[in-house]
Every structure is written in C-alpha cells, then in structure tokens.
Amino acid sequence: MSGNNEIWLTQEAYDRLKGELDELVNNRPIIAAEINTRREEGDLKENGGYHAARDEQAKQEARIRHLQEVMRDAKVGATPADDGVVEPGMVVTIAYDGNEDDTETFLVGSREEGSHGDLQVYSPQSPLGQAILGASTGEAREYALPNGATQKVVILEAKPFAG
C-alpha cells in the first residue's frame, strides 16, 4: 500500500502539472514587474492595480508551493498490484449499501489527476477514499457523510488503472 504522503499520478497528469509549474515559475518576473509598475503610480492605499497585482502574485506563489509538494510526493504511473486490494492507482467499483443496482466506478488518485473521460477521480484522503483503502473485493466499509450519517459501500472490483 502507498505511504500517506504519496500522490499517485498518471504520467500525463504529472507532465501537465510540471508544465503548469514551469509556466508559473517563468511568470514570476512578469508579476514582479507589474507590481513595480503599479507601485510607481503613487499612493498605495488607493492603488487598486497594485493590490490586484499583489493578490495575483500571492495566488500564484500558493499554487507554485502546492505543485512543488505534489511533484515531490508524486508516484508517477507505477501500476499497483492486480490483487483486488484498493490503493491509489486502482479503478474501483463500489455498490452503495450493498445494492448492486446503485454502483459507482472511479479512480483512486490525486485530485490533481483530473478526470479520465467519464471516470471520476477520488482522493485517497477523501472520506470515501480513506474508508476503502486496503479493502479487498467483496469487503464492506463505512464512511461518514457531511451530514453526519454513515454510508456503507461494498467493493465490487478493484483493478489497476490502465490509462
């Protein structure tokens, strides 16, 4: 099973995030120049352009830090064992309350992964993700819903993501 800090990503997602990170880092001088230009316009208390540029810089720096964390902890494209045990990188089909007519199939991976066609991605840190990690096919697990109730799910299938 993956460590708590590992973030499973496809090679495609990793490359996309790496491109975004490179673009943001390369954009730093442009934002700094914009701040300097706005600063020269005068009174900073009343300078909306200056404050907007500073806000944009703060957002970009936060995204850079987040992407650097993701890249540092990324486990790229490593295919998990095809053993029916839920872990990051697995496509999982669950039945809600054991009702095989009420099912959902999704990839357990990083939210940064995005979606793959109709296949949604659920984070292993989400309540459902945490509940099913380590579960085997046929096993039932429960997790807490936002309203405080609990939801029971049964693992119908867990297979490695084939990209």
Can you name the CATH fold of 7-76? Answer: Helix Hairpins (1.10.287)
Continuous segment of H or E residues that includes residue 24: helix 11-39
Number of H helices and E strands in the chain, helices first, is 3, 7
pLDDT, greater one: 4 or 27: 27
Half-sphere exposure of 55 (CA within 13 A, CB side): 6
Strands 7-9 and 74-76: parallel
Two tokens at 160?
Answer: 């490695």
Domain extent listing, the chain: 7-76, 90-160
Q: What is the mean pLDDT of residues 119-133?
A: 91
Two tokens at 94?
Answer: 């669950």
CB-based contact 5:70 (threshold 8 Å): no
Bridge partners, residue 140, by sequence: 154
pLDDT in tens, 29-50: 999 998 888 888 877 777 888 8
Instruction: Classify 104 as helix, strand or coil.
Output: strand
Q: Give me the chain's average pLDDT, please.
A: 87
For the domain 90-160, what is the CATH code? Answer: 3.10.50.30
Q: Do domains 7-76 and 90-160 have the same CATH topology?
A: no
Give, in order, the Cα–Cα distances in Å from 81 to each of 22, 88, 129. 32, 11, 18
How is the beta sheet containing 140-144 ordered, strand by strand? 120-122, 103-108, 90-96, 150-160, 140-144
Q: What is the pTM of this model?
A: 0.68
pLDDT, greater one: 75 or 132: 132
